[in-house]
Amino acid sequence: MYRLGVFLLSVLCLTVLVQILAVVAWHDYRQNGDVSPVRALSNFIPGPFEVKDSDVEASGRPSIGPASLPEIRSELLYLINSERVLAQVPPLNLGYNASAQQHTESMKQYGYRSHWDVHGLTPQMRYTLAGGTNRVRQNIAGPIGIPASDDSGITAWRTVIREMHQGFMAGSAERANVLDPWHRNVSLGLSCNEAQCWVVQQFETDHLEFINLPTIYGTKLQMSGQFREGLELEALAVWFHPHSRRLSLGQLDATYRYGIGQKPATFVRPPASTEDYYAESLVSYEWGTGIDPYTLDAGLSRSSAPPLSVEVAHSAAVPWTTADRWSQDDSRFTVEADLSEIISFHGTGVYTVQIWGRIGADTVPLTNYSVFLP
């Protein structure tokens, strides 16, 4: 009887010990993103188990390790989709376009915050180079300070991320990106050092599948594809931007907003019917952009103040280009157009193709695909 009592008591003690270790390990994981038995025990047992975590700087801020990044991305996606559910628009899938992560790493490496990057590329240029084919819009944040974890076991970065999200929702352009009903995916970039993080939310459409990507052969623009969700081809524009060149950190500090291109090069229209003709060769067009970093002095000093979200108004008479071929059969379409006069005027550079689709009374921007013409 005595031995049975000892055995049962031992089993009970072992069960309690396992439960304590599980709680300690979970507490350590929530605070640090991984589990270290020595570090975990040092939080509860003083004396010989006390250690100095190699991932904690003198400031007391723990670095965010690789194990924490998926959890932060999940929180970012959760916050976005929570807003979309409240707005009664479809939730987003997690995207995998690499340009979002590449841009956060660039901002972390060089210590700047801008939609442009040090190579002079805009979000749609980077998106295209990383294999994207539809339309992309971008929210950015950083550098965001990383505080230490709080006593409740809920890591303090969660509060910081939620405050960042509320900042996005307070901005008209950022809020529109979060709630755009035509967005389908969001690629999330996140890069951190021991004290700060940079975040990119890259919103992407997915309503058009190209059979032949937009390409300029010589001077001829060619493309074909297939629309989804009942869309049909409505309009097409081509924007121009000079070849990208390296930007200084001073130029980036002064630049925030971005556009599809420096200017619209041409609007493409379908061929006129045999009985009709087009009387107009130009169309008056107005658009707004942010400060173009290419217009700024490369020797501009760095600024610690956030860049101003300034909109610069433009207007121009933009030439029409009448397509050689503009056809749509059910959901499939093909466009071919001679851009010889356009390219002769602007020269080589980046030509970004903007396609609009129509469904019912809605006109939907579907692409900002960049063609790099050497």
Query: Taking residues 350-365, what's their average pLDDT?
Result: 95
Give the pair of three-digit tokens for residue 357: 């689709």
| Residue 157, in any domain of the structure | yes
Establish how many alpha carbons lie within 13 A of residue 94's alpha carbon, considering only the half-sphere containing its beta carbon. Answer: 12
Residues 264 and 222 in one domain: yes
- For residue 14, being part of any structural domain is answered with no
- Residue 133: give the domain boundaries: 69-204
According to the model, what pLDDT value does residue 66 have? 47
Do 226 and 357 belong together in one domain? yes
CB 339 within 8 Å of CB 221: yes
200 and 217 assigned to the same domain:
no
Quickly state the pLDDT bin for 38 (edges 50, 70, 90): very low
Please report the pLDDT score of residue 8 as a whole number.
53
pLDDT tens sequence across 269-311: 999 987 788 989 999 999 988 888 999 999 999 988 777 777 8
Query: How many domains in the chain?
Result: 3
Q: β-strands 185-192, 196-204: how paired? A: antiparallel
255 with 366, same domain: the answer is yes
Going across the sheet that includes 196-204, the strands are 93-94, 185-192, 196-204, 136-145
pLDDT of res. 39: 36
Residues 86 and 117 in one domain: yes
Q: State percent of the chain over pLDDT 90.
A: 64
First to last CA, the chain: 90
Same domain for 153 and 289? Answer: no
Residue 61 lies inside a defined structural domain of this protein: no
CATH code where residue 246 lies? 2.60.40
Predicted confidence band of residue 178 (pLDDT cuts 50, 70, 90): very high
pLDDT > 70: percent of the chain:
79
Question: Angle, nearest 10°, between helix axes 172-179 and 157-170?
Answer: 100
* Among 153, 175, 204, residue at a domain's last position: 204
What 3 state SS string does the chain have?
Answer: CHHHHHHHHHHHHHHHHHHHHHHHHHHHHHHHCCCCHHHHHHCCCCCCCCCCCCCECCCCCECCCCCCHHHHHHHHHHHHHHHHHHCCCCCCEECCCCHHHHHHHHHHHHCCCCCCCCCCCCHHHHHHHCCCCCCEEEEEEEEEECCCCCCCCCCCHHHHHHHHHHHHHHCHHHHHHHHCCCCCEEEEEEEECCCEEEEEEEEECCCEEEEEEEEEECCEEEEEEEECCCCEEEEEEEEEECCCCCCCHHHHHCCCCCCCCCEEEEEEECCCCCCCCCCCCEEEEEEEECCCHHHCCCCCCCCCCCCCCCCEEEEEEEEEEECCEEEEECCEEEEEEECHHHHHHHCCEEEEEEEEEEECCEEEECCCEEEEEC
Picking from 164, 171, 172, 166, the residue whose alpha carbon sits closest to that of residue 142 is 164
Degrees to nearest 5, angle at CA 255 with 350 and 143: 115
Classify residue 226: in a domain, yes or no.
yes
Euclidean distance between CA atoms 80 and 175, whole angstroms? 10
Residue 128 lies in a domain: yes
Question: Quick check: is 11 in a domain?
Answer: no
Check whether residue 37 and residue 182 sit in a common domain.
no
183 has a pLDDT exceeding 90: yes
pLDDT score recorded for residue 29: 39
Same domain (yes/no): 217, 290 = yes
For residues 167 and 263, state if they share a domain: no
Confidence of residue 18 (pLDDT cuts 50, 70, 90): very low
Backbone CA torsion sign across 199, 205, 211, 214: negative
Is residue 12 a part of any domain in this protein?
no
Query: What is the pTM for the complete model shown?
Result: 0.80
Domain termination residue (choose one: 173, 204, 235): 204
Specify whether 149 is located in the same domain as 223.
no
Q: Looking at 100-109, 182-191, 306-315, which range is the least confident one?
A: 306-315
Rounded Cα gap, residues 53 and 172, in angstroms: 42
38 and 112 together in one domain:
no
CATH of the domain at 85: 3.40.33.10
Residue 342: phi, psi to the nearest 5?
Answer: -65, -45
Residue 63 lies in a domain: no
Residue 17 confidence (pLDDT) above 70:
no
Alpha-carbon distance 244 to 25, whole Å? 50
Residues 339 and 217 in one domain: yes
Residue 81 token pair: 């989709």
Other Cβ atoms within 10 Å of 170 Cβ, number = 9
Boundary residue ending a domain (151, 182, 204) = 204
**Tens digits of per-residue pLDDT, 48-65?**
323 223 233 333 444 454
Q: How far apart are CA 102 and CA 192, in angstroms?
A: 13
> What is the average pLDDT score of the chain?
83
Average pLDDT in the 66-81 region?
83
